[in-house]
Structure 1
Amino acid sequence: MRCEKSKIMIFGATGYFGTYMVKASASSAHPTFVYVRPVKPHHPPSKTQLLKLDEHEKLVEVLRQVDIVIVTFGVPLILEQMKIIRAMKEAGNIKKKLIRRAAEESGIPYTFVSANSFGAYFVNSLLHPYDQNLKKVTVYGTGEAKFGCNYEKDIAEYTVKAATDERAENGLIIYRLPKNVITQLDLISRWERKTGRTMEKTFISDKEMVKLSQSSPFPEAVGIAIFHSIFVKGEQMNYELKEDDLDAVELYPDYDYTTVDQLLDIFVVDPPERGVAAFQ
């Protein structure tokens, strides 16, 4: 007998990472529903729910049709997750959700996802591969802090696996992929070898970044703080996994993830679409 696939609702589906999530869910044969803001209310697309998060009753009605909720909201929409959680509690049928705020208090099964850095996004931000004439690159801090550079496609596919995996229920899964732990200087060096270009490096110090984040308006300051955390402090890699933490590679050893080298090859041949964060 064929096992029935869980119905997945994705919030933030039309955003940069949300599009990867929709593809991953649909390609895994899950009935996939998406939340989008109304654009043409008289012509709603199939399986797309056009409603506002403030419309609580409608949100509850929609959530009763699905089993799993995945939220990809970032700055400045993070607090909007609270409205979704309230609706999910009332709907009462959600098997699992992937929301990092107030999950324990909701009483609904959850999975926290620590994806580290979006690989394609940061390759674009750091190397500017679309500008083939560019020979300058900015290095944050010393360029020696390690970070995880994971392709968005893999992050999304790992997330769909975790969303339907009982082993990940009420836990934290970390995407620390061994071949994708890298430094800025190493990333630049690999890019230089693949393109035959030598990049002139401009370094922005720790103190300069702190000062810039303090003087910049919201939400630009958020982006600077994120870059400082990842590339100067190395906070993605400067801690040991706890006993209860789940490692994506150990959970799914057969999944063939995209390495940093392979991602750079993709950028050389057919670069992914450039993403823009809300704080840019």
Structure 2
Amino acid sequence: MDLGKSKVLIIGGTGYIGKWLVKASLEQGHETYVLRRPEAGFDVEKNQMLLSFKKHGAHLITGSYNDHQGLVKAMKLVDVVICAISGVHVGNQILLQLKLIDAIKEAGNIKRFVPSEFGTDPSRMADALEPGRATFNEKMVVRKAIENAGIPFTYVSANCFAGYFVGGLCQYGHNLPSTDSVILYGDGNQKSIFVYEDDIAAYTIKSIDDPRTLNTTIYLRPSANILSQRELVEIWEKLIGKQLQKSCLPEQEFLNIIKVKDYAEQASMNYYYHFFYQGCLANFEIGDDAEEASSLYPEIKYTKMEDYLKQYL
């Protein structure tokens, strides 16, 4: 471990993006701690993952959101806290971070807090459709609490996780790219931004000791990965040497489909609507009050989506 680097506590380390963050923190030489909640011992897969973290040099700390003093004790061991708990379709899960904020305030030593965002910038989603908007609203509640408490922070807007969107060529409910046909949302030309999870974690960890990212938002916008759904399909077609049969799903038809789904599916499909019909990820310029990660850290050789798609050949 590099003694000049911050000590990092990752909460939600066994979650989807959390495991990538643990890996990146260790690879970049940080002394890394992972919160192990007591209930993890009953989940064989999570327990094995935690043991794997330990094998690779991470420290495991048992703690719970309901154990305030235990959280304070954990905070005092580190300099940076990164939260990666999932907020998707889980009522008030994101708001558990308010308990972390209370512990950070009492500990008094944390130099940077990275709350659980890692997707769309919630400050730009006030007009998002319900029920998906609830998650954005909760993230803004957390932001307000962080800033009111005077806790140093970095917000990470990573846009579309490649693992969720790219394999299925952005089609909801698909995880593997078809070699026959594809449904395009609208005309398929709205730009989105796709980032491999390994790169999301690498950029996040790189930012935690950087004064340029203190008390600001970093957007992950690697230039080669700012693509429309149609462009992503064309990359896949080039790789397989075949044209897919394409059909277009009009906006109103997609909205009608959402209406008959259950709560969880409505929330998921809302993201697809905002990304691929409205283009909410790439239809604005980053202002002077924010930073772009691939420009800050050109030494990170991010994965282009053409290379990402090759794994499916």
Answer yes or no: same fold by TM over 0.5: yes
- Closer, same or farther: CA 3–51 of 1 in aligned 2, 3 Å: closer
SS at structure 2 position matched to 1:264: helix
RMSD after superposition: 2.2
Question: SS of the counterpart of 1:233?
Answer: coil
- Name the counterpart of 2:289: 244
What is the match of residue 81 of structure 1?
Answer: 97
Deviations 1:1-47 (A, max 9, x none): x7522111112211111111111111011111112442327x98442
1:122 maps to which of 156, 165, 187: 165
Within 1, Cα distance between the matches of 2:263 and 2:153?
A: 30
Deviation at 1:131, TM superposition (A): 6.8
Matches within 5 A, 1:144-183: 144-183=189-228
Cα distance in 1, alignment partners of residues 107 and 168 from structure 2: 40
Matched, 1:208 2:253: yes
SS of the aligned residue for 1:53 comes to: coil
In the alignment of these two chains, the number of paired residues is 265
- Pairing 1:39–2:48 present: no
The alpha-carbon deviation at position 238 of structure 1 amounts to 0.7
Aligned letter for 2:233? I
Q: Does the 8 A contact of 1:6 with 1:68 survive in 2?
A: yes
SS of residue in 2 equivalent to 1:148 = strand
The aligned counterpart of 1:94 is: 110
- Map 1:1-80 onto structure 2 (within 5 A): 3-37=3-37, 38-40=39-41, 45=51, 46=54, 47-73=59-85, 74-75=87-88, 76=90, 77-80=93-96
**1:252, distance to aligned residue in structure 2 (A):** 1.4
Q: Deviations over 1:129-178 (max 9, x none)?
A: 6477x523232222110011111111110000111111100011111111
Q: Distance in 1 between matches of 2:259 and 2:248?
A: 19
Aligned to 1:16, the other structure's residue is in SS state coil
User: Would the alpha carbon gap of residues 87 and 218 (structure 1) be closer, same or farther in structure 2, given more than 3 Å must change?
Assistant: farther
Give ranges in structure 1 of 5+ residues lacking alignment: 269-280
Q: 2:152 aligns with which of 106, 109, 112?
A: 109
TM-score for the superposition, normalised by structure 2: 0.78
**CA 267–11 in structure 1, closer or farther in 2 if over 3 Å, else same:** farther
- Once the 2 structures are TM-superposed, how far is the Cα of residue 117 of structure 1 from its aligned partner? 0.9
Deviations 1:43-89 (A, max 9, x none): 98442223321222211111211111111223222222212111111
**Residue identity opposite 2:69 in structure 1:** E
Q: 1:232 aligns with which of 265, 277, 283?
A: 277
Contact 1:111 1:172 in 2 (8 A): yes
Aligned residues: percent identity?
Answer: 35
1:182-207 Cα shifts (integer Å, max 9, x gaps): 01111111112212343233433211
TM-score when scaled to structure 1? 0.86
The question of whether the paired residues in 1 share the 8 Å contact of 2:10 and 2:34 is answered with yes
Distance 2:242 2:84 in 1: 36
Structure 1 SS opposite 2:192: strand
CA distance in 1, matches of 2:240, 2:73: 52
